Amino acid sequence: MAVIVGTGMVVRSIPYENLVMKHGAWAVHCAAMGAVLAPLIFMGGPVMMRAAWYTAGVVMGLSATAMCAPSEKFLMMGGPLAMGLGVVFAANIGSFFFPAHTALGAGLASIVVYGGLILFSAFLLYDTQRLIKKAEITPNTGYQTYYNEYGQPMQVSAPRFDPINAQLSIYMDVLNIFIRMVMILGVAKIFFFAKLIDRFNLLIYYLYLYLNFLHSRVKNDVVKRWLN
């Protein structure tokens, strides 16, 4: 987890103008996430390919829905989604203490898999619309125009839109959807291992939400650049 969090912070801290270092750090971050998911290959090629195709279909459909939505109503789901994430995480922890053959254990497992699939599909809608909105309101020139009390246009420096930082949450959404597709299509003997990977990803997702919370509170410009 330290490597993934560390590489993620490095990616966020590098300005987008420094394309070589930015993309290099992004590649290292993606490689670290891939190393976490790599053991899922023991599920077998057919299962992994089916899960990948199903994930691609879900992501394409939800992304098109978020892009073509007539309103920005998906941006209002932030609070309920955070609460839903807490429920799925608690169910994930509880499923390790209750056997799957019991009624409670089976219910918790269903929340982890199917509830998590619905939850991160909703997160994908939310994060896609948030990325679109951020791209619309964030200047690409490094300056933002506003009008003073006399109606005169004024320009102030503003951070440019960073597409890599903006898509990191969508990347996490897609990974979590893929993991649940593997859990649905996989066999029972690998289910426990898949849940371990799922718990790890949920911890990273919680940390990501906490960093976003800090971003809305911190006033220091240097720290904001790290969390943007």
Task: Give the model confidence (pLDDT) of 171-180 as tens digits.
Answer: 888 888 888 8
Residue 14 pLDDT more than 60? yes
Output the pTM of the full model: 0.73
Residue 107: inside a domain, yes or no?
yes
In a domain, 60, yes or no: yes
Is 156 a member of any domain? no
* 37 Cβ contact partners less than 8 Å away, ≥ 6 residues apart: 175, 178, 179, 197
- Only one residue has tokens 């990347």, namely 171
Q: Give the model confidence (pLDDT) of 71-87 as tens digits.
A: 777 777 777 887 887 78
Query: Looking at the DSSP assignment, which residues form a beta bridge with residue 146?
Result: 154
Residue 48 belongs to a domain: yes
Q: Is the dihedral of CA 37, 43, 44, 45 positive or negative?
A: negative
Nearest in space to 183 (alpha carbons), one of 58, 69, 40: 40
Instruction: Give tens-digit pLDDT for 173-221.
Output: 888 888 888 878 775 444 554 555 555 555 555 555 555 544 444 434 4
Helix (H, G, I), strand (E, B) or coil at 220: coil
pLDDT at 224 (0 to 100): 41
**Domain presence at residue 152:** no
Q: Is residue 216 part of a domain?
A: yes
Domain ranges, residue 32: 2-136+162-227
Q: Is the pLDDT assigned to residue 97 strictly greater than 50?
A: yes
User: What is the number of structural domains in the chain?
Assistant: 1
Q: Is residue 113 part of a domain?
A: yes
Q: Please give the share of the chain, as a percent, with pLDDT higher than 90.
A: 0
Contacts of 59 (CB under 8 A, 6+ apart): 124, 174, 177
Q: For residues 181 and 46, is the Cβ–Cβ distance under 8 A?
A: no
Q: What integer pLDDT is reported at residue 24 of this predicted model?
A: 87
Task: Return the percent helix, strand and coil in the chain, to nearest 5.
Answer: 80, 5, 20
The rounded distance, in Å, linking the Cα atoms of 196 and 177 is 15
87 is a domain residue:
yes
Helix axes 163-185, 2-13, angle to 10 degrees: 150
